[in-house]
Amino acid sequence: MAERLIYLPLGGAGEIGMNAYVYGYGEPGKERLIVVDLGVTFGDMDSAPGIDLIMADVAWLEDNRDRIDAIFITHAHEDHVGALGLLWGKIQKPIHCRRFTGAIARLKMEELGQPVDQIHIHAPRPEVISAGPFEVQFVPVSHSIPESSALVIDTPAGRIVHTGDFKLDGTPVIGEPFDPILWHEIAHEGQGVKVLTCDSTNIFSTHPGRSEAVLANPLLDFVTSQKQMVVATTFASNIARLRTLAEAGVAAGRKICLLGRAMRRMITVGIETGIIDRFPPVISPEEAAEMPRDKVMLIVTGSQGERRAASAQLSRGRYLGIELKEGDSFLFSSRTIPGNERGVIRIMNQLSEKGVDLFDADDGMYHVSGHANRPDIEAVHELLKPQIVIPMHGEHMHLREHMKLAEARGIPSMVVTNGMMVDLAGDRPRVVDQIDSGRLYLDGSVLIGAMDGVVRDRIRMALNGHALVSVIVDEDDNPLPDAWVELSGLPELGRARVPLASNIESELAEFLERVDDRTARDDDRLEEAVRKITRQVSMEEIGKKPEVTVIISRLAAE
């Protein structure tokens, strides 16, 4: 039977976030496998209330663990490395990455008590890592974090280029510039590129992407023209931006103070690994609070409106001894990720209440994206001349648009979403299987399945409220008529301003006094009848049917 060249996304294909991709090569069902990236995404009240982190369900990898040879991590962003510590125990294979990524990966493993000696640090191409039938090279790409890499994956069936996150930036401030000669080389070695698995994030942005370096002057002008304290926020992991911002602040004669644990950690790791040179010296929050306001620039976490991050704290009041005032300036040097608008706007309005002047990146002056735009993606198609293009790192609409772009250029392509297994050995992708993929939720300290019902029950309680009914049945199977009702998240009073709980209790008493023996003896029947009455009374009184939990306690004969 012919060998297959498998591509199987478990996360990141049909969403932006929680990247997790699998490649395989070998006889059908016996392919040797490698995993590329194990990232997280974040929950929200609409779909995952109370959930700390979301990641790909890797049950299929766990079931096929003996076929896996290695894990590769392209770069140190949370959506690529954030689940490493949480999921490694299910895979238990060596981890390969570059030095800076390795430092962050190490923290992820340590936090979860996983063995850090599983992390292997590699130099970029020309170093080659062998993993089963795969020969893998890390190839520097420009992005917004140091040592971002594409993977060149050579297999007996041909060469795969997995771009990871990238942009075409010749002057990226941090990290290696995009090097077209290097990529030309990669495209023209051997048989050339069989498959390009390519970032689709910005496929709808029609102008060519801009370099991080174009921000330096506008940011310097901005900081220089502010009269009081200047605060700027961006992603903690956007190390390029942190340096651009800090250098603008220093050039404008200000001291730099970093607020936010994630941001300080990134910079510390960057300096320790020797990746970040030339980062301006920073002062502590205590020192910043003592300085004249026009001599300080804060660079802070929370650009996406996160409630506990520094931006939100500063918008609410004093934070680490620093309080924003009338005439201070606050810059969002970031794009708001769709879905985070409410949180960002909340912060903006709270800052406005303090008299702080707001600046955002809407006109593009103070922010550039870390991802390739449509013309850049086209340029990469042209440069690499792949036989097949597989769009990745995008929601369905991004993947589909990218597929259409490739096909319009005559390159076979396919929208491959999480759980679809395609064989790339032939001239065009061919679907060969559909894996039960899904999501795992980190809830407190426990990993639960997205479909376990936990989150469904939370959403239902949030939408409908929760009525609790306790019924006691005596030794002779006679329910005591005085059931007890407690309401959570429900109006106390119903129509005519009578307490809803008393109303339900009265109706239940009437029912329990007359209940037939068959129902009284059967927990399921009794529970169902009690639930039904509770919901009916609620509907009449308050116009909605709550979730109902019934606890039936049967007294044992003594």
Site string for a copy of itself, 37-76 (x = CB under 8 A): -------xxx--xx--------------------------
The binder of a copy of itself chosen from 448, 478, 506, 525 (CB under 8 A): 448
- Judged by CB, which is closer to a copy of itself: 261, or 396? 396
State the burial class of residue 448 (Cβ atoms within 10 Å of its Cβ: 0-12, 13-18, 19+): middle
Question: By CB under 8 A, is residue 409 in contact with a copy of itself?
Answer: no
Question: By CB under 8 A, is residue 27 in contact with a copy of itself?
Answer: no
State the burial class of residue 162 (Cβ atoms within 10 Å of its Cβ: 0-12, 13-18, 19+): buried
Least distance to a copy of itself, CB of residue 314, Å? 16
The binder of a copy of itself chosen from 400, 412, 432, 478 (CB under 8 A): 400
Considering only the stretches 17-25, 106-114, 117-125, 489-497, report the one whose residues sit in contact with a copy of itself under the rule CB under 8 A. Answer: 489-497
Considering only the stretches 265-273, 283-291, 426-434, 458-466, report the one whose residues sit in contact with a copy of itself under the rule CB under 8 A. Answer: 458-466
The binder of a copy of itself chosen from 92, 217, 284, 488 (CB under 8 A): 488
- Judged by CB, which is closer to a copy of itself: 128, or 345? 345
Which element (helix H / strand E) includes 432?
strand 430-434
- How far the first Cα of the chain sits from its last, in Å, is 71
Question: By CB under 8 A, is residue 478 in contact with a copy of itself?
Answer: no
Question: By CB under 8 A, is residue 476 in contact with a copy of itself?
Answer: no
Give me the sign of the Cα torsion angle 226, 231, 234, 238.
positive
Q: How many CB atoms lie within 10 A of CB 479?
A: 22
- Judged by CB, which is closer to a copy of itself: 323, or 475? 475
Which element (helix H / strand E) includes 131?
strand 129-131
Site string for a copy of itself, 326-365 (x = CB under 8 A): ------------xx-xx--x--xxxxxx-x--x-------
The binder of a copy of itself chosen from 228, 464, 478, 506 (CB under 8 A): 464
The binder of a copy of itself chosen from 468, 478, 509, 523 (CB under 8 A): 468
Residues paired with 4 in a beta bridge = 26
**Cis previous bond, 126, omega within 30:** yes
DSSP letter for 135, please: E
Which element (helix H / strand E) includes 239?
helix 239-251
Least distance to a copy of itself, CB of residue 225, Å? 16
Per DSSP (E only), the strands in 444-554 are 446-449, 466-473, 484-488, 547-554
How far, in Å, CA of 394 to CA of 14, rounded? Answer: 6
The binder of a copy of itself chosen from 184, 409, 495, 532 (CB under 8 A): 495
Both structure tokens of 526: 């009794």
Site string for a copy of itself, 524-543 (x = CB under 8 A): ------------------xx
- Judged by CB, which is closer to a copy of itself: 46, or 277? 46
Question: By CB under 8 A, is residue 113 in contact with a copy of itself?
Answer: no
Distances (CA, A) of 419 to 15, 61, 431: 13, 12, 11
Distances (CA, A) of 435 to 27, 60, 213, 264, 429: 18, 7, 43, 40, 16
Question: By CB under 8 A, is residue 271 in contact with a copy of itself?
Answer: no
Find out whether 232 and 298 touch, Cβ atoms under 8 Å: yes
Which residues contact a copy of itself (rule: CB under 8 A)? 14, 44-46, 49-50, 338-339, 341-342, 345, 348-353, 355, 358, 395-397, 400, 443-446, 448, 452, 454-455, 457-459, 461-466, 468, 470, 472, 480, 484, 486, 488-495, 542-544, 547, 549, 551, 553, 555
